[in-house]
C-alpha cells in the first residue's frame, strides 16, 4: 500500500502579558471559548493555563497545510490581542517561573500531575508535532526505525529554547532537557515489527505503567489512534515559515525512506545510544555544532550535514510539491534558528523582556 504522506501539524503557543511580558493564563478570558467557536477542535488547552495548542486539519500537501497553519496563527494572534494577551511562538519562555503557573482544570492533566508530580508541573515547554500519514502499520514501523537517524538534525534546525527562568542555559534547546525528565521520552529503540511495538505497549498497560499508548512520549512514535507516525522532537519555531519547512522536510524524509524500502534498498539503522550522542550535540549547539557521521565515523559541521540531508531527499521533493518549503531550510542555515536569534537579541539589549517582544513580532512574520 502506497502511503498518502498526508500532513498534520500541531503548534503549542505561549500566552503572554503585554505589560510584564511574563506568561499569563488565558483561563478567565474568552480566548479559548472564542477559539473553539471559530476553529472547533483545531484549538485546545494544554496542561498549563498559559499554553494553547492548535492543530491543522489532515492536509494532502504542504500547500494546504500552509493555508491552514497561517490561518490558525492569524486567528490565535487576533484572539489573544482581543483578550489582552500576546501570542508568542517559542519552546520556552525566557524568564517565566513554572512554579507560578497554574495547571488547566482537567481530569487528564490532574492524573498526569498526580503520577509525575514536580516533573509534570515543571514541564512548561512548547513543541511542534508533525504527523505523516502512513496507513500500513508495518511500513510505519520500518520508516520510523530509519527516520530516528534524522531526529537530531531536525531538532538542530528547530532549536528555539536557549533561556529558562531568566538564565542563558548555554543550550540551544533547553526544552529537550526539561522534557526528558518525563518517562518514555527521547529517541526510541528500533522495533522489528508492528506486533513487536504492540507487545511492548501491552506489557506497559498490563503492568500499570500507563493506560494507553498516548503516554509514550518519544521523539517519534506510531500514533496510537491515527494512521500516522508523529515526529515530536522539535522545538516550536518562531516563524510559521520555519514550521512549514521542517514539516516538509519530515514528509520528504518519510517518502524517501519508503522509496528506498520499495526498491529493496535500505538505510543503515544505528543504535539508540549512538543516536542519542547526536541528539545531545543538537541540544547543546544547534546548527553551530558538529554531528557524528556514523558511516564515516567522523564529526561533520551540522550545516554541512543539513545540506547533505537536503540532497538525500531531493528526488522526492517535486513529487510532493514542497520545493518552496524545503528551500526555506537553506534560509534557516543563513539566518540561524530561533535560539540563535533570541540570543542575538539578548546580546544587543541585555533585556529578556525585549527578547519576548522580539519573539512576539517573529510569531507574526509572513502572515500578512
pLDDT for 143: 97
pLDDT at 60 over 80: yes
Which alpha helices (H) appear in 23-173, and where do they start and end?
31-39, 62-82, 107-116, 118-121, 137-147, 151-158
Question: Cα–Cα distance between 136 and 227 in angstroms, integer?
Answer: 8
Buried b (16+ CB within 10 A) or exposed e, 178-201: bbeeeeebbbbebbeebeebbeeb
The pLDDT tens digits for 210-242 are: 888 889 999 999 998 889 999 999 999 999 999
Q: Residue 291: inside a domain, yes or no? A: yes
Backbone angles phi, psi at 270, to 5 degrees: -110, 160
The pLDDT tens digits for 241-300 are: 999 999 999 999 999 999 999 998 878 889 999 999 999 999 999 999 999 999 899 999
Handedness of CA 158, 160, 213, 191 (dihedral sign): positive
Question: Cα–Cα distance between 235 and 154 in angstroms, integer?
Answer: 9
pLDDT for 345: 98
Q: Residue 201: inside a domain, yes or no? A: yes
Backbone angles phi, psi at 85, to 5 degrees: -130, 160
pLDDT for 237: 98
Nearest alpha carbon to residue 282 among 166, 193, 152? 152
pLDDT band of 38, cuts 50, 70, 90: confident
Q: What is the DSSP string of 49-90?
A: TTEEEEE---BSSHHHHHHHHHHHHHHHHHHHHHTT-EEE--
Mean pLDDT of 336-345: 98
Q: Residue 74: inside a domain, yes or no? A: yes
Nearest alpha carbon to residue 160 among 303, 355, 330, 340? 340
Average of per-residue pLDDT values in the chain: 94
Backbone angles phi, psi at 365, to 5 degrees: -60, 130
Q: CA–CA distance from 214 to each of 96, 156, 175, 262, 354 (Å)?
A: 28, 25, 20, 30, 37
Q: Residue 2: inside a domain, yes or no? A: no
Name 263's Cβ contacts closer than 8 Å, sequence gap at least 6. none
Q: Residue 368: inside a domain, yes or no? A: no
Question: Cα–Cα distance between 200 and 45 in angstroms, integer?
Answer: 30
Q: Residue 275: inside a domain, yes or no? A: yes
Handedness of CA 314, 317, 318, 324 (dihedral sign): negative
Q: Residue 1: inside a domain, yes or no? A: no
Q: What is the DSSP string of 278-294?
A: HHHHHHHHGGGSEEEET
SS3 content of the chain, % helix, strand, coil (to 5): 50, 15, 30
Q: How many domains does the structure of the chain reveal?
A: 1
pLDDT band of 27, cuts 50, 70, 90: confident
Q: Residue 11: inside a domain, yes or no? A: yes
pLDDT band of 33, cuts 50, 70, 90: confident
- Any idea what the CATH number is for the domain that residue 141 is in? 3.30.590.20
Q: For residue 149, what are the domain limits? A: 7-363
Environment class of residue 137 by beta-carbon count within 10 Å: exposed (0-12), middle (13-18) or buried (19+)? middle
Question: Cα–Cα distance between 65 and 246 in angstroms, integer?
Answer: 12
Backbone angles phi, psi at 275, to 5 degrees: -65, -35
Amino acid at each position: 500500500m502506497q502511503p498518502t504522506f498526508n500532513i498534520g501539524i500541531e503548534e503549542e503557543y505561549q500566552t503572554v502579558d503585554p505589560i510584564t511580558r511574563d506568561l499569563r493564563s488565558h483561563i478567565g478570558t474568552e480566548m479559548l471559548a472564542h477559539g473553539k467557536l471559530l476553529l472547533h477542535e483545531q484549538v485546545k488547552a494544554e496542561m498549563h493555563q498559559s499554553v494553547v495548542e492548535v492543530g491543522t486539519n489532515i492536509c494532502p500537501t504542504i500547500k494546504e497545510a500552509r493555508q491552514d497553519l497561517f490561518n490558525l496563527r492569524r486567528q490565535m494572534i487576533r484572539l489573544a490581542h482581543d483578550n489582552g494577551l500576546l501570542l508568542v511562538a517559542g519552546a520556552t519562555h525566557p524568564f517565566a517561573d513554572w512554579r507560578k503557573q497554574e495547571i488547566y482544570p482537567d481530569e487528564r492533566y490532574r492524573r498526569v500531575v498526580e503520577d509525575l508530580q514536580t516533573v509534570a508541573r515543571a514541564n512548561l515547554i512548547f513543541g511542534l508535532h508533525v504527523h505523516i500519514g502512513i496507513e500500513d502499520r508495518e511500513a510505519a514501523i520500518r520508516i520510523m526505525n530509519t527516520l530516528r537517524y534524522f531526529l537530531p538534525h531536525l531538532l538542530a534546525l528547530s532549536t528555539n529554547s536557549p533561556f529558562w527562568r531568566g538564565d542563558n542555559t548555554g543550550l540551544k534547546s533547553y526544552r529537550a532537557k526539561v522534557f526528558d525528565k518525563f518517562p518514555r521520552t527521547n529517541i526510541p529503540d528500533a522495533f522489528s515489527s508492528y506486533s513487536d511495538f504492540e507487545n511492548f505497549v501491552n506489557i506497559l498497560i498490563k503492568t500499570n505503567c500507563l493506560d494507553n499508548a498516548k503516554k509514550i512520549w518519544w521523539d517519534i512514535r506510531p500514533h496510537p489512534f491515527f494512521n500516522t507516525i508523529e515526529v515530536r522532537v522539535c522545538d516550536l519555531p518562531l516563524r510559521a515559515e520555519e514550521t512549514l519547512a521542517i514539516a516538509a522536510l519530515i514528509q520528504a524524509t518519510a517518502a524517501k525512506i519508503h522509496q528506498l524500502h520499495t526498491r529493496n534498498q535500505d538505510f543503515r539503522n544505528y543504535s539508540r545510544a549512538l543516536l542519542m550522542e547526536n541528539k545531545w550535540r543538537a541540544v547543546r549547539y544547534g546548527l553551530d555544532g558538529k554531528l557524528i557521521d556514523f558511516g564515516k565515523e567522523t564529526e561533520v559541521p551540522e550545516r554541512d550535514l543539513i545540506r547533505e540531508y537536503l540532497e538525500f531527499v531531493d528526488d522526492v521533493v517535486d513529487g510532493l510539491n514542497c520545493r518552496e518549503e524545503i528551500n526555506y531550510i537553506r534560509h534557516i542555515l543563513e539566518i540561524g534558528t530561533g535560539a540563535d536569534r533570541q540570543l542575538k537579541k539578548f546580546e544587543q539589549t541585555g533585556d529578556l523582556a525585549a527578547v519576548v517582544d522580539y519573539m512576539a513580532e517573529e510569531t507574526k512574520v509572513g502572515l500578512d
